[in-house]
Structure 1
Amino acid sequence: MNLKSIVIITFIISAVLLAARIAPAMNSEQYREGKYIHIDNIVMEFSGTNATIDVEYHLSPFAKAYIFLFGSKNIEPKMKEIFFKFPEMQIKDIGLNSATIQLTNVSQKEGHDYMHDSRKLGIHSDVLTIIFPYNQGVRRVQNVDSTLSVFYPDSPKYSEIHNNITKQSQ
Structure 2
Amino acid sequence: MKSIVLAIFIILLSCATFGYSAYAQPANIGHYQYIDINEMTIEFNDNNAEAKISYDLDLFAQMYVLILGSRNLEPTFNEIFNEFGNFKIAEIGKSHAVLMLDNVSRQSGEYYLHDSRKLGTNVGRLILIYPEETSKVVENTNSTPNTFYSSK
TM-score, scaled relative to structure 1 = 0.75
1:51-90 alignment runs, 5 A limit: 51-90=49-88
Any stretches of 5+ residues in structure 2 without a counterpart?
Answer: 16-29
Identity of aligned residues (%): 39
1:11-90 alignment runs, 5 A limit: 11=9, 13=11, 33-90=31-88
Letter in 1 for 2:87: M
Q: Deviations over 1:10-53 (max 9, x none)?
A: 04646999xxxxxxxxxxxxxx9312111101100000110000
How far did 1:5 drift?
5.3
Aligned length: 138
Give distance in 2, aligned partners of 1:52 and 1:62.
29
How far did 1:138 drift?
1.4
Letter in 2 for 1:111: G
Residue 141 (1) aligns with residue 149 (2): no
Partners of 1:83 and 1:122 within 8 A in 2: yes
1:74-153 alignment runs, 5 A limit: 74-135=72-133, 137-153=134-150
Higher relative contact order (CA 8 A, sep 6+): 2
| Cα root mean square deviation, aligned | 2.2
Relative to structure 1, is the Cα distance of residues 131 and 14 closer, same or farther in structure 2, using a 3 angstrom cutoff? same
Give distance in 2, aligned partners of 1:71 and 1:106.
29
Give distance in 2, aligned partners of 1:61 and 1:86.
29
Partners of 1:119 and 1:147 within 8 A in 2: yes
Give distance in 2, aligned partners of 1:5 and 1:112.
68
Give distance in 2, aligned partners of 1:88 and 1:5.
47
Give 3-state SS (helix, strand or coil) of 1:68's partner: helix
Q: Deviations over 1:133-169 (max 9, x none)?
A: 122x1111111010011111113xxxxxxxxxxxxxx
Instruction: Pick the structure with more helix per residue.
Output: 1
How far did 1:6 drift?
5.1
